[in-house]
């Protein structure tokens, strides 16, 4: 019974992922409209003007990565190749993928791959071993940038090695941390720059408390691994820090429907809000890599050397 209770899935999260995925797909194909439109006029006068214009933040203690530009990225840039971005996650990660695809495709420099699978997570290795799954995917399609977003299915205990570990217990954190670190290391060994996208504010109070524990856990782990952690909570709350289905468009000031009806996922517009900063960061990262390579090659040319190499620092 203990095992059953600890590994019982959040059935709501798992099954709604299918429906939400369909909504994301329809919004994606229709140009980003996801229903709901603009919000009705707020009851409290001046509420819109007083709202905090939040942007998804990067953990200030997280550096770009241990080595800024990998040899694999340098070779791709030197050859004028497309930069491949892989987005790995669950049903929430699928929304992250769709938003990044829409934002980066117009650049002409990026190809964004949907490598997520619904109803997956780091506590669900009996269903799918994420390390093996991700290895298979990057074997078939190498990536220079990897975006990870998991957690909505992981607010549960784990049964592993003959014993149960309760959610957020020391054993749980140790096991999940090991699994996450193995995935990050695999991606880095293949030359990918890794980003982690956290989860937003949730509507249901108990689930939100669990998700914020999850965010804090992953923020700590990413800091230890020198992986940028994208905090999406500030972009998903109202002026009081509470859940809000309607968010203000930072560009127009209009309040728009940004959350799916389940109170967990985002609309296509909402995913765009959460990932706008990350898309900009990815563009700047590649631009910096190109500029550094150009400068390095000019120095080598003047000294009689040639060819891309490993960046310093």
The tens digit of pLDDT for each residue in 288-310 reads: 999 998 888 888 888 876 555 44
Q: Give the N- to C-terminal CA distance of the chain in Å, as an integer.
A: 53
Structural domain contains residue 309: no
Q: Do the beta carbons of residue 196 and residue 148 sit within 8 Å?
A: yes
Structural domain contains residue 11: yes
What pLDDT shows up at residue 303?
83
pLDDT, mean of residues 3-13: 45
- Pick from 225, 293, 300: nearest CA to 73: 293
Any idea which of 51-60, 163-172, 233-242 has the lowest mean pLDDT? 51-60
Question: What CA–CA distance (Å, rounded) separates 119 from 13?
Answer: 8
What pLDDT shows up at residue 58?
56
DSSP one-letter code for 246: E
Question: What CA–CA distance (Å, rounded) separates 198 from 285?
Answer: 20
How is residue 16 written in tokens? 């709604």
What pLDDT shows up at residue 117?
95
**Count of domains in the chain?**
1
Question: What CA–CA distance (Å, rounded) separates 8 from 3?
Answer: 8
Structural domain contains residue 299: no
Structural domain contains residue 301: no
Q: Highest mean pLDDT range out of 8-12, 21-25, 134-138?
A: 134-138
Question: What CA–CA distance (Å, rounded) separates 133 from 115?
Answer: 9
How is residue 22 written in tokens? 């369909």
The confidence band for 174, taking pLDDT boundaries of 50, 70 and 90, is: very high
Q: Do the beta carbons of residue 194 and residue 243 sit within 8 Å?
A: no
What pLDDT shows up at residue 102?
97
Write out the residue range of the structural domain in which residue 262 sits: 2-44+52-279
Q: Which residue has the higher pLDDT, 8 or 298?
A: 298
What pLDDT shows up at residue 205?
98
Give the pTM: 0.80
The answer for 162, left when phi > 0, alpha when psi is -120 to 50, beta otherwise, is left
What pLDDT shows up at residue 43?
32
What pLDDT shows up at residue 308?
54
Structural domain contains residue 302: no
What pLDDT shows up at residue 218?
99
Q: Do the beta carbons of residue 96 and residue 197 sit within 8 Å?
A: yes
Average of per-residue pLDDT values in the chain:
83
| pLDDT at residue 284 greater than cutoff 90 | yes
- Here the CATH number for the domain that contains residue 37 is 3.40.50.1110
Structural domain contains residue 288: no
Structural domain contains residue 242: yes
What pLDDT shows up at residue 301?
86
Structural domain contains residue 181: yes
- Pick from 190, 174, 145, 182: nearest CA to 283: 145
Residue with the two structure tokens 């720059």: 193
pLDDT, mean of residues 156-179: 95
Please state the φ and ψ torsions of residue 148, each to the nearest 5 degrees: -115, 140
| pLDDT at residue 16 greater than cutoff 50 | no
Strand partners, 229: 196
pLDDT, mean of residues 125-147: 98
């Amino acid at each position: 019974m203990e095992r059953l209770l600890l590994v019982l899935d959040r059935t709501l999260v798992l099954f709604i992922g299918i429906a939400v995925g369909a909504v994301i797909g329809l919004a994606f194909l229709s140009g980003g409209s996801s229903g709901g439109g603009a919000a009705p006029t707020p009851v409290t006068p001046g509420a819109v003007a007083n709202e905090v214009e939040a942007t998804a933040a990067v953990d200030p203690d997280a550096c770009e990565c241990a080595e800024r530009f990998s040899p694999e990225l340098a070779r791709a840039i030197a050859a004028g190749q497309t930069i491949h971005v892989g987005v790995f996650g669950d049903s929430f990660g699928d929304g992250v993928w769709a938003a990044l695809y829409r934002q980066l495709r117009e650049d002409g420099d990026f190809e964004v791959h949907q490598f997520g699978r619904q109803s997956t997570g780091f506590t669900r290795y009996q269903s799918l071993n994420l390390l093996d799954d991700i290895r298979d995917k990057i074997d078939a399609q190498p990536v220079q940038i990897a975006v990870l977003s998991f957690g909505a299915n992981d607010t549960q205990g784990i049964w592993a090695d003959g014993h149960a570990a309760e959610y957020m217990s020391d054993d749980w954190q140790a096991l999940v941390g090991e699994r996450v670190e193995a995935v990050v290391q695999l991606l880095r060994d293949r030359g990918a720059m890794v980003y982690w996208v956290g989860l937003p504010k949730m509507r249901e109070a108990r689930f939100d408390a669990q998700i914020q524990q999850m965010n804090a856990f992953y923020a700590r782990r990413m800091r230890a691994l020198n992986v940028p952690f994208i905090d999406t909570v500030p972009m998903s709350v109202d002026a009081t820090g509470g859940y809000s289905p309607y968010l203000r468009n930072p560009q127009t000031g209009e309040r728009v429907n940004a959350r799916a009806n389940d109170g967990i996922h985002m609309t296509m517009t909402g995913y765009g809000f959460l990932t706008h900063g990350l898309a900009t960061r990815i563009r700047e990262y590649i631009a910096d890599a190109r500029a550094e390579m150009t400068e390095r090659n000019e120095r080598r040319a003047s000294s009689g050397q040639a060819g891309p190499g490993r960046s310093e620092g």
